[in-house]
Structure 1
Amino acid sequence: MKTISRCVVVLAIVAGAATSFAQGLAERVQEHTLKNGMKLLMVERHTSPTVAAWIRFRVGSVDERSDERGLAHLLEHMLFKGTKTLGTRDYAAEKPVLDRIEATAQKLMAERIKRDQADPKRIEQLTAELASLEKEAEKYVVKEEFADIYARNGGSGYNAFTSKDGTTYLINLPSNKLELWASIESDRMRNAVLREFYTERNVVMEERRRSYDAEPQGKLWETFIADAFNAHPNGQPTIGWMSDIENLTRTKAENFLHKYYAPNNAIVALVGDIDPQKAIALVEKYFGNIPPGTPVPPVAVEEPEQAGEKRAEVVGDAEPELMVGFHKPTLPAPDDYVFDVIDMLLTDGRTSRLYKKLVLEKKLATSVSSFGAPGSRYPNLFIINATPRAPHTVAEVEAAIYEELERLKTEPMTKDELQQILNHLEFEESRQMASNGGLARNLTEYEAIAGTWRYLIEHRQKVARITPEDVIRVAKQYFTRENRNVGFITPKAQ
């Protein structure tokens, strides 16, 4: 009990300090925009001699054309491969080999795409030639040089991730190594070399096989989302379909890279032990003369209004699983704030309506959750995900979910429920901002998606204004059969 008590006290102190910090966030965030369009967000706090440095590019898989699907995710992998000076022993000697690899790969792909009309001998010859050239190129490669340099200089958490909405690169490092970060990342932005492209493409294809093609849960997710979005690129998998990946080329990737992964589409957050004026000077010195790229254009296509329920079944060697999704607007639309309330009202914690009914009382499910997906820049889905508890079925869980959604249309949210939601929001905001990395992530995320990082400080205020009548109105408007998407796994018969 003493250990638990100490933990509670520590958490309370951390949450209190973070809450106090959050209240002054508007005054603490300093902004600077370079002439090339790069946005710099800084928060100075000296809790430790470290800095979280995050770079968010406003380009994700939703921005790919039909012949580019999977490029943003593949480029996330490729940008760890180095530059003209890092990751290579001799770029001048390496480049001609890379060019020959690309020419050979293009010929091989052109032959393969003929399918039944392809020449097997030609494919065999080009495959052998490509393998030989890739072997030759290996002698110039210095593996993981970015990571090694950061590790030798005290860096940690070096990583990247790609989503529908954007691509982010992150590192935590000692504050006296900030210039090293600026040097490395500006070099990567200016001089990235997509070496080992086709071997890395094979790695991504294997990732796809393992996580989606051979995994019923992954296949369910892809099928469910693709069913829900017939026109909008939100429906396409971030990793790409297998045939998409097979037809990606280094040339296509380089064009996408040079077009969009540029200062005018970048948001940088530096949070931690910094002097903002010195940080600005450092960023200007290393990034200021990089030419801007092409602004990422908005996606013009709009998903047509759904005219009836869509159901997707995946039969696989897995336990039953259920997803129910409804089309909805995205932030900062007023109804999106109402969905944030509904999300917490339904599945946040043991006293939430769906958790209490499905998991605790009826014992129909082992778990239930809700969230917005697959992206946030464009209208998305409100999704409820549940796992039936044996011997109960998907159909039983689905029916129970609909009962609770109907309750939302008739049974007003209580003052206690709203206060519990506001308390939880305050705790979560505090927790996320307690670390330099958490705050850097939120600053870059909301600056990119909502158009301003100030969404962070406005969100709870707007949620507090939501009324029980708002919840009833939104539930009636969106939770309809016509607007409903259902996906489920049926276990394969033994």
Structure 2
Amino acid sequence: MVVVRTGSRNDPSDNTGLAHYLEHMLFKGTSNYGTKNYKFEKQYLEQIETLFELYKNTSDSALRKFIYSRIDSISYMASQTAIANEYDKMMQIMGVEGVNAYTSNDETVYINNIPSNQIYKWLEIEAERFRNPVFRLFHTELEAVYEEKNRSLDSDDSKAFEKLFYGLFYGHPYGMQTTIGTSEHLKTPSLKAIETYYRKYYVPGNMAMILSGDFDPDSLIQVIDSEFSKWINLPKPKEIVYPELTKKPFKSTEVVGPNPAYVMFGYPVPSGRVVEGAYAEVMNSLLYNGKAGLMDKNLNLSQKVQSASGFVYLMNDAGSHIFIGVPRENQSPEEVQTLMLAEIEKIKKGEFDEKLLQAIVDNYELQLMRSYQDNFSRCGTLADAFIRGYSWKDYQVISNAYKSIKKDALIAYANKWYVEDQMITVFKREGHDSSLVKIAKPAITPIELNKGKESKWLKEHAYKNVEPIAPNFVNFERDLQRTKTTSGLDLFYVENKDNQLFSLYYVLEMGSYNDLKTAFAIELLPYLGTDKFTVEEINNQFYTLAA
């Protein structure tokens, strides 16, 4: 992962969506790759940048249409030397998978899953990629961003979350602007603003490279030093400090869309320190953990609602605890919210088993141990620590923070933060959204993609010979131990030498092809008890065991 400590929080208020635009443009190449002839291409790119500024600052519709036609025609000229998708092609040549990126409130993250024998070549490419990107093929990339925006406008969930965050974080970029940006700003993009943003935030002091996998760290760090030392060593930019949030624009509101109705409500919670975040997470697990939370037992398993759930979303400047309730047939979202609020009140009154707190700690440590088995999750944990500004030592004490939370302290926390005058509610109603206005895509002349063409830089770097990886195939006769249980069932097992986890699978030689009712029967199992235990007792026991 390459992680940049910036996201939509730092978008200029008159250029929302900018961080996300930039993420897209970091796949377009540099002066060395993504082009057959950068010197020829550059003259057109400079004209396009100037025209986009003129387009942004022009209000006359006829003149705007003329300017965009000029952008379109010059973009076609520039595309004659551009090589589309050359970064992706280099990754394919090297066998890199999972090439992706995402932008959120506080971070922009670039992801690659790299064969271990290609890591040195990948470092060369990444150093070049972020050194001096060229924002080519820009107006065609707008189409992709417009499509993302239109999908978000169609999405009931996106509309509900946007309203909720507006209510929770009114006066802060978290609430006042979205990662995708406003329709108006997306229609008037500024290449100069994107360039300024890149120069400000994509600097060594504000970025991290996070690697996890099969490599020699001592030799790898030498290559990193060699490749990335060419960058100018600039510190991270000064953070903008926003005033404390106090004003709420509304208590409740609603959005309308074609999907079934539900209620979404939330509370702002502190997120500045490890312990503060741990309190919110423990609160959530007491209410909803999929097995033994108050909402699990009293609402979901008892089927008083179709579903009740919650999650904690912590950001650098603020956090939120969000709940979603889906009604049963002939039940209103308001009724669901009332039932969910009653479960929150139980915690505020101390009406919960203190033993659950230890079970929450055990389940957290289980989740953490599982995540450390996977390279992507390990990178994600390190990325989160970097973005939040924690040292790795700080991050490692989260388990201790969970263990330190006692019942009385949690009750006090709940009574302080989970109060009515802080709660924001969004009711999702089923119906037609008459206010929906999608972004119209401008007419664009198909550009030259130059498929099959390759830059000199690609040929010199992507095709370098590397030592092949020796495959290590599973030998089921050698690697699996076999025995039988006391009841005569076949048992196959492998010793886990990496950590204290174990997994157990029952494999039945039957399925829906044998009996169509099998699939439905399996779906019923989570709601069934036994002749000795109720389903609630079973779930409590499994959760207590962190199983």
Q: Please give the range of the TM-score, normalised by the shorter of the 2 chains.
A: 0.7 to 0.9
CA contact (8 A) 2:346 2:352 kept: no
Hey, what's the Cα distance between the residues in 1 that align with 2:248 and 2:56? 40
Other structure's SS at 1:488 match: strand
The Cα of 1:362 is off from its aligned counterpart by 4.3
Aligned to 2:336: 397
Aligned to 1:64: 11
Aligned to 1:128: 69
Other structure's SS at 1:313 match: strand
Segments of 5+ residues of structure 2 without an aligned counterpart are 434-547
Hey, what's the Cα distance between the residues in 2 that align with 1:344 and 1:102? 50
Hey, what's the Cα distance between the residues in 2 that align with 1:350 and 1:412? 18
The answer to which structure has the higher helix fraction is 1
Q: Does 1:288 align with 2:264?
A: no
Pairing of 1:322-471 with structure 2 (within 5 A): 322-332=263-273, 334-365=275-306, 367-373=307-313, 375-471=314-410
1:205 aligned to which of 132, 146, 152: 146
Question: What letter is aligned with 1:368?
Answer: A
Aligned to 1:49: none
Q: Does 1:103 align with 2:42?
A: no
Hey, what's the Cα distance between the residues in 2 that align with 1:162 and 1:227? 22
Structure 1 residues 467 and 376: CA distance shift in structure 2, 3 A: same
Question: What letter is aligned with 2:184?
Answer: S
Other structure's SS at 2:345 match: helix
Hey, what's the Cα distance between the residues in 2 that align with 1:308 and 1:165? 23
Aligned to 2:174: 234
Question: What letter is aligned with 2:268?
Answer: H
Aligned to 1:171: 112
Hey, what's the Cα distance between the residues in 2 that align with 1:165 and 1:244? 20
The Cα of 1:306 is off from its aligned counterpart by 4.4
The Cα of 1:215 is off from its aligned counterpart by 2.1
Question: What letter is aligned with 1:423?
Answer: D
Q: Over residues 26-60 of structure 1, what are the superposed CA-to-partner deviations in whole Å (9 max), with x where a residue is unaligned? A: xxxxxxxxxxxxxxxxxxxxxxxxxxxx1111111
Hey, what's the Cα distance between the residues in 2 that align with 1:231 and 1:307? 9
CA contact (8 A) 1:59 1:296 kept: no
Structure 1 residues 407 and 442: CA distance shift in structure 2, 3 A: same
The Cα of 1:119 is off from its aligned counterpart by 5.3
Please, which moves more after superposition, 296-305 or 378-387?
A: 296-305
Hey, what's the Cα distance between the residues in 2 that align with 1:266 and 1:336? 24
Question: What letter is aligned with 1:219?
Answer: K
Q: Does 1:148 align with 2:89?
A: yes
Hey, what's the Cα distance between the residues in 2 that align with 1:337 and 1:252? 38
1:221 aligned to which of 141, 161, 168: 161
The Cα of 1:163 is off from its aligned counterpart by 0.9
Aligned to 2:197: 256
Question: What letter is aligned with 2:95?
Answer: G
Seq. identity, %: 28
Q: Over residues 249-298 of structure 1, what are the superposed CA-to-partner deviations in whole Å (9 max), with x where a residue is unaligned? A: 11110110111112111111121112121111011000013013452322
Pairing of 1:80-119 with structure 2 (within 5 A): 80-111=27-58, 114=59, 118=60
CA contact (8 A) 1:432 1:438 kept: yes
The Cα of 1:324 is off from its aligned counterpart by 1.1
Hey, what's the Cα distance between the residues in 1 that align with 2:187 and 2:248? 35
Aligned to 1:73: 20
1:481 aligned to which of 407, 411, 420: 420
Q: Over residues 457-476 of structure 1, what are the superposed CA-to-partner deviations in whole Å (9 max), with x where a residue is unaligned? A: 21111101110111100110
CA contact (8 A) 2:53 2:191 kept: no
Question: What letter is aligned with 2:383?
Answer: T
Question: What letter is aligned with 2:138?
Answer: F
The Cα of 1:360 is off from its aligned counterpart by 1.7
Hey, what's the Cα distance between the residues in 2 that align with 1:307 and 1:279? 50
The Cα of 1:386 is off from its aligned counterpart by 1.9
Segments of 5+ residues of structure 1 without an aligned counterpart are 1-53
Structure 1 residues 214 and 91: CA distance shift in structure 2, 3 A: same
Question: What letter is aligned with 1:422?
Answer: V
Other structure's SS at 1:185 match: helix
Hey, what's the Cα distance between the residues in 2 that align with 1:292 and 1:412? 55
Q: How many residues align?
A: 432
Q: Over residues 300-331 of structure 1, what are the superposed CA-to-partner deviations in whole Å (9 max), with x where a residue is unaligned? A: 11243246961121122221121111111004
Structure 1 residues 185 and 481: CA distance shift in structure 2, 3 A: same
Please, which moves more after superposition, 227-236 or 479-488?
A: 227-236
The answer to which structure has the higher strand fraction is 1
Hey, what's the Cα distance between the residues in 2 that align with 1:155 and 1:343? 37
CA contact (8 A) 2:265 2:424 kept: yes
Structure 1 residues 87 and 473: CA distance shift in structure 2, 3 A: same
Hey, what's the Cα distance between the residues in 2 that align with 1:387 and 1:195? 45
Other structure's SS at 1:160 match: strand
Structure 1 residues 86 and 368: CA distance shift in structure 2, 3 A: farther
Other structure's SS at 1:86 match: coil
Structure 1 stretches of 4+ moved >4 Å: 306-309
CA contact (8 A) 2:164 2:265 kept: no
Structure 1 residues 438 and 119: CA distance shift in structure 2, 3 A: closer
Other structure's SS at 1:165 match: coil
Structure 1 residues 110 and 493: CA distance shift in structure 2, 3 A: closer
The structure with the largest alpha-carbon Rg is: 2
Q: Does 1:318 align with 2:259?
A: yes
Hey, what's the Cα distance between the residues in 1 that align with 2:404 and 2:320? 23
Please, which moves more after superposition, 74-83 or 130-139?
A: 130-139
Hey, what's the Cα distance between the residues in 1 that align with 2:396 and 2:56? 50
The Cα of 1:238 is off from its aligned counterpart by 0.9
Other structure's SS at 1:300 match: coil
Hey, what's the Cα distance between the residues in 1 that align with 2:198 and 2:235? 10
Hey, what's the Cα distance between the residues in 1 that align with 2:210 and 2:294? 38
Question: What letter is aligned with 1:259?
Answer: K
Other structure's SS at 2:123 match: helix
Pairing of 1:172-191 with structure 2 (within 5 A): 172-191=113-132
Hey, what's the Cα distance between the residues in 1 that align with 2:235 and 2:180? 23
Q: Which one has more relative contact order, counting CA pairs under 8 Å at least 6 apart?
A: 1
The Cα of 1:412 is off from its aligned counterpart by 4.8
Question: What letter is aligned with 1:58?
Answer: R
Hey, what's the Cα distance between the residues in 2 that align with 1:152 and 1:237? 36
